[in-house]
Amino acid sequence: MTDQATDATSSIHGPMTGRYAPSPTGALHLGNLRTALVAWLSARSQAGRFVIRIEDLDPAVARSHHEQTQLDDLTRLGLDWDGEPLRQSQRRAAHDAAIARLVAAGLTYLCYCSRREIAEAASAPHGAPPGAYPGTCRHLTATQRAQREAQGRPTALRLKSSGEQVTVVDALQGPVTASVDDLVLRRNDGVAAYNLAVVVDDAAQGVTEVVRGDDLLSSTPRQAYLCRLLGLPVPRYVHVPLVLGPTGARLAKRDGAVTLADLSTLGVTAVEVRARLAASLGLCRPEERPTMNDLVERFDTMSLTTHPWVFDKW
């Protein structure tokens, strides 16, 4: 590990492109919709493009039936996008090509650890994000590897990182610094890991700005580091606070009517939902019903709050 932090500030120049990348695991709730709205407003207020990516890497998720419902909800909210949505499950060749480059550069190794073994590991790299891998399999001997293979253990592929600290300056949250651990590049089921896929696919879609929930902020230095290793541009990051339920926990279905479909049964229209979300962002008064054009004209990333919005009930 080095003492010097690497600055991974956005390195993109060119047409502005924002994105929203939902995983089709269920209906979008108010927290998802609020983040999507911010991403769309940020792109459109900069006269930029806005693209959609369906993050369906997990085979079970890819077989789900929620994708069209999510797209329909975004449309009902007033969002549009440029081009057809990109499905991550159809990007395997590109993910494998990026992994092959890292393998060829000698920057990877096989990992035989189970999730339980990783969780029980006594230590992890100092300053690394939560869940950082302690490097158990990094220095295995040939004999130790053979023993694990004889046990039939499935293997993941990990990055042999330098352990250096990487700093990303988030447009809303400010600088965040973390040591990059030996993160997974390919899972033990053969599918590319999220951190690898997201940077490859953002670059492929020409994404220059990533707006997402601040629960992903701690993993951003990892992604910026991968961008640098693969020669990909680092986008501008904007991590917005999550929406919390009445108990202070992250908003979920257990909190009642939190999706457009649920709220519709209560007589709440999509326009009213949009207005409530806009008011939570300080873009209108509670009684207003602003148009999308109104919101685009009023939007300013730097005026967004860094505090979560607590949704109690309608």
pLDDT single digits (tens) 19-66 = 999 999 889 999 999 999 999 999 999 999 999 999 999 877 656 678
The per-residue pLDDT for range 159-202, each reduced to its tens digit, is 999 888 999 999 999 999 999 999 999 999 999 999 999 999 99
pLDDT above 90: percentage of residues in the chain: 78
Give yes or no for residue 130 having a pLDDT over 70.
no
Q: Which domains does the chain have, with CATH numbers?
A: 6-89+194-310 (3.40.50.620), 94-163+180-186 (3.90.800.10)
pLDDT of residue 194: 95
Tell me how many degrees the CA angle 119-157-166 measures, rounded to the nearest 5.
75
pLDDT of residue 105: 97
Give yes or no for residue 4 having a pLDDT over 50.
no
pLDDT of residue 254: 83
Calpha distance 175→178 (Å, rounded)? 10
CA distances 131 to 7, 89, 124, 152, Å, are 23, 25, 8, 25
Calpha distance 16→9 (Å, rounded)? 16
pLDDT of residue 117: 82
pLDDT of residue 122: 47
Calpha distance 71→53 (Å, rounded)? 11
pLDDT of residue 11: 57
Calpha distance 5→171 (Å, rounded)? 19
- Average pLDDT estimate for 260-286: 96
Tell me if residue 185 falls in helix, strand or coil: strand
Calpha distance 180→219 (Å, rounded)? 9
pLDDT above 70: percentage of residues in the chain: 90
- Average pLDDT estimate for 94-117: 95
pLDDT of residue 8: 59
Strands 49-54 and 17-20: parallel
pTM: 0.90
Calculate the average pLDDT of the chain: 91
pLDDT of residue 258: 93
| Two structure tokens written together for 216 | 């992903």
The per-residue pLDDT for range 59-75, each reduced to its tens digit, is 776 566 789 999 999 99
- Average pLDDT estimate for 103-119: 91
DSSP 217: G
